[in-house]
Amino acid sequence: MQNILVVDDEIELSKLYQQELRDEGFNVMVANDGFEAINLAQKNTIDLVVLDIKMAGMDGLEVLNEFRMKNADIPVILNSAYSTYKDDFSTWLADAYVVKSSNLDELKNKIRELLKI
Amino acid sequence: MLADYSSISDIEKHAFADKTLTCYRNPIFISGSGGKLLWHNVEFQEFASKYMSGKSVQQVADIIINRKGIAEQNDRATGFSLASKAAENSPPTDFWVNLSRLMAGEGAELNVCQISKTPSASRVNADRNYSLAAVINQIGRKLDMSYRLDETLKIILIGATAGEGLGFNRAFLLLYDSDSGLYKGEIAIGPSDGHEAGAIWSELVGAHKTLDELIDNYNHAAGKYDVKVNNIARRINLPASDLCPALNEVFLTHKPRLVTKGSCQSSGKIGCELFGILGVDSFAAAPLTVEGSIVGLLLADNLITGRNISESDLEILGIFANHAGTAVQRSRMYERLQNKIELLAQANERLKESQKRLIESEKLTAIGKMASDVAHEIRNPLSVAGGYARNVRKKAGEKHEYSEALDIIIKEVDRIEEVLDNFATVSKAAPEERVVFNFSQLVSDVLQMVNSNVVASEPIIDIIEIENNIMVCGSEKQLRNAILAFSKQFINVGGTSIPVGAILKPVGDQASLSFLCKPDDAGKSRIRRVLSNILVSSPLKRETDLVIASEIINQHSGSISIEHGKDRPLSIVINLPIHKE
């Protein structure tokens, strides 16, 4: 079973993602801020990260930079309510960018694509 | 001496008593307003009696004062000859009458008249020199007031040709053109044949009495006749060297001289053909010198009258040409100053326009950020609500009593999310009419504006190369904002301590604008810092103008990339399709 790390400070949304992705057959870990995410990634084997951008403290792009320096090969999907950053080259370090939506089909498809399932 | 007396009564009381004027042995008289004879010496009484048929002194004074044309000449002394007979049968004797009109202190006029025998040749010369000096003085005054080159040139030529001036029939002005290294015929005035001469001179003589009036009204009175002579002028091009001997001497000595076919010696060198162009056998050439260099040449001839050009004519022409040279130089400097002022005014206008655009760009940024923030704040809770609705709906199955209600919730959430997508798009670039425009000029303007807004001794973005006239089709305003946003990033993120270079050139069918470091280690390190800051900066701290800028580039079928290589500088490259006719 592949491990997915969901990083989002919206707790209710994290729970929803956890539930939905578990239903899809993934093992899901949740971090509610950037520091916790880096911590979890150091202690666990992570196959893919779903990462929010706007978070208190350390924001998603800073977390992304940390991941790239330490775990360059882990696929990262930026998942933000900011659709405007989708075309911004500040997000190019990520493997994919999915705008948050109540419909998680796009996110799930992108996860399968990156994990080659 | 008369200046010591402030009124006619003063003169009556004192001047004659102290014999101020009685020391002169020539006939002299003074008359006042209305020609009333105020004073005369004994010699004048003898003159009236002996040479004016015994007329009274008052009658003789009236004849002199009222002589036609004299009354108007009130600004200086006037001389004229007077033929008179002692008796009906005796031969006429020529006298020279020198009349001065003076203003006395009470506003009254005094005419002071001295009579002598016909003047000597030296006197005639002195009078001519006086007249020429007055002309040069008038021309000088006019030149002092003229700052426009075309006007200055015209004054010079009128002075050289007007009857009251130097009196040449035609004059041509050549000015040095530094681009070609040639003295080129610039302007000329005068008739091209006898018929034109008659027309010009009759108009000038009939309409204008003084040189001042002539200069002020020349274009109206006689300018229309100058077309042919100007065509001749434009055919004249002289180099500064390898000239025929006579012209060469003018350049070597910086002095005027008479150039004749004989002096030219048909050397076959440049300048000999001037006789053919001008249609004369001789002409005067005077250099216009300023601080040791010859800025032009004044050529003058007497095509119509054939009058010989004397040494005295040349001397006066030389003085005149020196005066003219200074005026030409001053006019040129004035024109250069005017051009500089014009350029500064244009630059100021561009700066104002750029600042206006900068404000528009800032507004666009603020609107974009606000729209983006609003969309974000709504989308997060909506994703949670809609997401759980979908989750429950999936688990509830088709026959659940709330299935229909859940479908409605999901449908409405989708609607709101669609609205948010459109809202976010509005915050990006709005579509605008596309036109073909000069992208090179746009990039140059933007970079100069960005640099001018940075307080630093050196520009932050070094404009390494901008190839001219690269044309792009699109919204000039949007692309200006986009390039401005990228340029500003380098300053906002890097500060003035990080110099960046910019190159715009065509690469294939693309206009390629590169922001790059200079090819040294320090430069590379600096631009890496800029790029790193751009790539990892927090969206909460950043403006959204880069997002909008990227969108604008995409909408114009352009692209943004990062280029680097072992021996190449690290650079951000913006590519846009070049417009081709």
Contact check, Cβ <8 Å, A89/B382:
no
Contact check, Cβ <8 Å, A12/B384:
yes
Cα(B10)–Cα(B2) distance, rounded to whole angstroms?
Answer: 10
Q: Which two tokens stand for residue B545?
A: 């103008």
| Chain B nearest C-alpha distance from A63 (Å) | 9
Q: Which residues of A touch B (CB under 8 A)?
A: 10, 12-13, 16, 19-20, 53-54, 59, 61-62, 64-65, 80-85, 87-90, 92-93, 99-104
CB-nearest to B380 from A59, A65, A100 is: A100
Chain B residues lying within 8 Å of A100, measured CB to CB: 379-380, 383
Kindly state whether residue A113 falls inside one of the protein's structural domains: no
A-contacting residues of B 403-442, CB under 8 Å? Answer: 410, 413-414, 417, 420-421, 424, 427-428
Contact check, Cβ <8 Å, A87/B550:
yes
Residues B567 and B485 occupy one common structural domain: yes
Q: Distance between alpha carbon B463 and the CA centroid of its chain, in Å?
A: 30
Contact check, Cβ <8 Å, A62/B536:
yes
CATH of the domain at B73: 3.30.450.20
Kindly state whether residue A16 falls inside one of the protein's structural domains: yes
Q: Is B9 in contact with B109 (CB distance < 8 Å)?
A: no
Kindly state whether residue A93 falls inside one of the protein's structural domains: yes
Q: How many domains does chain A have?
A: 1
Chain A residues lying within 8 Å of B410, measured CB to CB: 102
Contact check, Cβ <8 Å, A101/B389:
no
C-alpha to C-alpha distances, B298 to B7, B177, B189, B319, B335, nearest whole angstrom: 49, 15, 12, 11, 21
Identify the sign of the CA torsion B47, B52, B53, B54.
negative
Residue of A nearest to B429 (CA): A84
Residues B208 and B167 occupy one common structural domain: yes
For B538-556, b/e burial (b = at least 16 CB within 10 A) is ebeebbbbbbbbbbbbebb
Chain A residues lying within 8 Å of B550, measured CB to CB: 87-89
Question: Side chain identity at B481, as an amino acid letter?
Answer: N
CB-nearest to A13 from B380, B417, B546 is: B380
Chain B residues lying within 8 Å of A65, measured CB to CB: 535-536
Residue A32: give the domain boundaries: 3-102
Kindly state whether residue A110 falls inside one of the protein's structural domains: no
Contact check, Cβ <8 Å, B547/A88:
yes
For B365-394, b/e burial (b = at least 16 CB within 10 A) is beebbebbbebbebbbebbbbbbbbbbebe
Name the 3-class secondary structure at B452.
Answer: helix
Residues B179 and B262 occupy one common structural domain: yes
Contact check, Cβ <8 Å, A83/B385:
no
Rounded average pLDDT per 10-residue block, chain B, 581 residues:
48 48 69 82 85 84 69 44 62 71 65 71 64 76 78 81 72 86 86 68 56 67 69 84 80 88 67 81 90 88 82 83 83 83 80 74 73 83 92 85 88 88 60 81 85 62 88 87 78 56 91 78 60 48 57 84 68 88 74
Chain A residues lying within 8 Å of B417, measured CB to CB: 101-103
Chain B residues lying within 8 Å of A92, measured CB to CB: 535
Residue B386: give the domain boundaries: 348-426
CB-nearest to B539 from A13, A19, A82 is: A82
Kindly state whether residue B536 falls inside one of the protein's structural domains: yes
CB-nearest to B540 from A54, A64, A104 is: A54
- The closest of B158, B132, B141, B128 to B298, measured between CA atoms, is B158
| Chain B nearest C-alpha distance from A74 (Å) | 18
Name the domain boundary from B426, B444, B459.
Answer: B426
Whether residue B542 lies within 8 A of chain A, CB to CB, comes out as yes
* C-alpha angle A28-A14-A62 in degrees, rounded to nearest 5: 90
For residue B239, what pLDDT is reported? 83
CATH of the domain at B362: 1.10.287.130
Kindly state whether residue A108 falls inside one of the protein's structural domains: no
C-alpha to C-alpha distances, B451 to B28, B190, B296, B353, B447, nearest whole angstrom: 81, 55, 43, 15, 6
Q: Is B443 in contact with B513 (CB distance < 8 Å)?
A: yes
Question: Side chain identity at B440, as an amino acid letter?
Answer: S
* DSSP letter (8 states) at residue B84: E
Site from B377, B410, B535, B553 to mutate, A interface, most A CB atoms within 10 angstroms:
B535
Contact check, Cβ <8 Å, B539/A102:
no
ipTM of predicted assembly, 2 dp: 0.84
Chain A residues lying within 8 Å of B548, measured CB to CB: 84
CB-nearest to B550 from A61, A88, A100 is: A88
Residues B179 and B324 occupy one common structural domain: yes
Kindly state whether residue A114 falls inside one of the protein's structural domains: no
Kindly state whether residue A107 falls inside one of the protein's structural domains: no
Contact check, Cβ <8 Å, B539/A104:
no
Contact check, Cβ <8 Å, B391/A20:
yes
For residue B269, what pLDDT is reported? 66
- Phi, psi for residue A3 in degrees, rounded to 5: -95, 125
Kindly state whether residue A109 falls inside one of the protein's structural domains: no
| Chain A nearest C-alpha distance from B457 (Å) | 31
For residue B5, what pLDDT is reported? 47
C-alpha to C-alpha distances, B427 to B363, B366, B540, nearest whole angstrom: 11, 9, 17
* DSSP letter (8 states) at residue B578: B
| Chain B nearest C-alpha distance from A76 (Å) | 15
For residue B504, what pLDDT is reported? 94
Residues 6+ apart with CB under 8 A from A53: A59, A60, A61, A78, A80, A82, A85, A91, B539
Kindly state whether residue B341 falls inside one of the protein's structural domains: no
Residues B31 and B161 occupy one common structural domain: no
Residues B94 and B235 occupy one common structural domain: no
For B456-478, b/e burial (b = at least 16 CB within 10 A) is eeebbbeeeebeeebebbbbbbb
For residue B200, what pLDDT is reported? 65
Q: Which two tokens stand for residue A43?
A: 């202690």
CATH of the domain at B323: 3.30.450.40
Residues B91 and B212 occupy one common structural domain: no
Taking 50 as the pLDDT cut, the residues of chain A under it are none
A33-45 pLDDT tens trace? 999 999 999 999 9
For residue A47, what pLDDT is reported? 95
Cα(B245)–Cα(B253) distance, rounded to whole angstroms?
Answer: 12
Residue of A nearest to B383 (CA): A102
- Which residue stretches of B13-167 are H helix? 42-51, 57-65, 121-145, 149-161
Residues B256 and B155 occupy one common structural domain: yes
- Phi, psi for residue B123 in degrees, rounded to 5: -65, -40
Name the domain boundary from B384, B399, B426.
Answer: B426
Kindly state whether residue B342 falls inside one of the protein's structural domains: no
CATH of the domain at A63: 3.40.50.2300
Contact check, Cβ <8 Å, A10/B542:
no
Residue of A nearest to B560 (CA): A89
Residues B353 and B238 occupy one common structural domain: no
- Phi, psi for residue A34 in degrees, rounded to 5: -65, -40
Name the domain boundary from B426, B453, B474.
Answer: B426
Contact check, Cβ <8 Å, B384/A10:
yes
Q: How many domains does chain B have?
A: 4
Residue of B nearest to A59 (CA): B538
B507: how many CB neighbours lie within 10 A of its CB?
11
